[in-house]
Amino acid sequence: MAVFLQQISAGLSVASILLLIALGLAIIYGTMGVINLAHGDFLMLGAYCTWYLEAHLGFGLLESIPTAFLMVAAAGWLIERTVVQHLYHRPLDTILATWGIGMMLEEGMRLAAGAEPRYVKLPSSVDSSVHLLGMEFSLYRLVIIAITVALLAITWYLFGKTEFGMKVRAVTQNRSVSECYGINTKTVYSLTFAYGAGLAGVAGALVAPIKSVSPDMGTHFVVDAFLVVVVGGVGSLLGTVLSAGILGELNAGIAFILNDTLAKAIVFLAVIVVIRFRPQGLFANRVRG
């Protein structure tokens, strides 16, 4: 039972990272219809931002998270304003453009920070274990879960209960009619893209002490995040949450029993089966015709 609960905790921490990345992907695609292949590189930027703040400015990990969010969100805003906004309704061009942007970000980081892996030290305040239910759990894994839950609640409130969220929903349903009612759709798109990028930046900050920080680190995570979005159902916030939990726990459980490589292969096979029999995803929103 102790091993089982510890694996549940490990799976939830993996799911939390996936959820933050996939949430940004789902928001961007659900609002703008943009398949952003540079999204993993936003995670990489967040990780490097955290490393730089710690190594050169003396920031702690938890202090770096808000700064990582703002800096990566600013990068996302700039990319949307200069490139992506000119390619709406051109999906192939958008895919190629974001792929190229991702390559430029990776090579730019290699030139700026070097190709060698960088490491972020885990603060002593969270580098310990806590005693729960008669067992020891990693405090940092619990912190990751708590931060993810907080950001999920903020996202739900922002897009579901605020005026900005109402504008996002209006633009998503019909951009032309929204513009007739005075909604600045370009601003809505830019801020939404920036928010999705910022969430990936937070994921990068959280994963930096666990994985080595390198220019290509985002590639591995963004593939899993795309799987989460596909399985959960594009445009479904609840589906994204449930899908991240299922795939995170499945990946962690199989990796514990077998190994990481086989775990990824089995999870990928399971996703293919889901797509074959339910291409709209397991938890897709139902839309009345």
**Residue partners of 231: CB distance under 8 A and separation at least 6:** 239, 243, 246, 247, 271, 274, 275, 281, 282
The pLDDT score that the predictor gives to residue 270 is 83
Section 75-88 average pLDDT: 92
In this prediction, residue 7 carries a pLDDT of: 66
What mean pLDDT is predicted for residues 217-237?
Answer: 80
Q: What was the pLDDT predicted at 174?
A: 85
Region 186-205 average pLDDT: 94
Taking residues 183-210, report their average pLDDT: 93
Amino acid letter for position 48: Y
Mean pLDDT of 159-185: 89
Confidence band of 49 (pLDDT split at 50, 70, 90): very high
pLDDT at 41 over 90: yes
Instruction: Tell me what pLDDT residue 5 has.
Output: 64
Report the pLDDT value the prediction gives residue 134, as an integer from 0 to 100: 64
Q: Kindly give, in sequence order, each residue whose CB lies less than 8 Å from that of residue 80, ignoring residues fewer than 6 positions away.
A: 189, 190, 193, 194
pLDDT-derived band of residue 287, with 50, 70 and 90 as boundaries? very low
286, pLDDT greater than 60 = no
Are 19 and 264 within 8 A, CB to CB? Answer: no
The share of the chain scoring above pLDDT 70, in percent, equals: 92
List, for residues 57-66, the tens digit of each pLDDT value. Answer: 989 888 899 9
pLDDT at 288: 38
Q: Could you tell me the pLDDT band of residue 42, with boundaries at 50, 70 and 90? A: very high
pLDDT at position 289 is: 36
How large is the average pLDDT for residues 124-140? 76
Other beta carbons within 10 angstroms of residue 184's beta carbon come to: 13
Predicted local confidence at residue 251, as pLDDT: 78
Q: What is the DSSP string of 68-79?
A: HHHHHHHHHHHH
Model confidence at 262, pLDDT cuts 50, 70, 90, reads confident
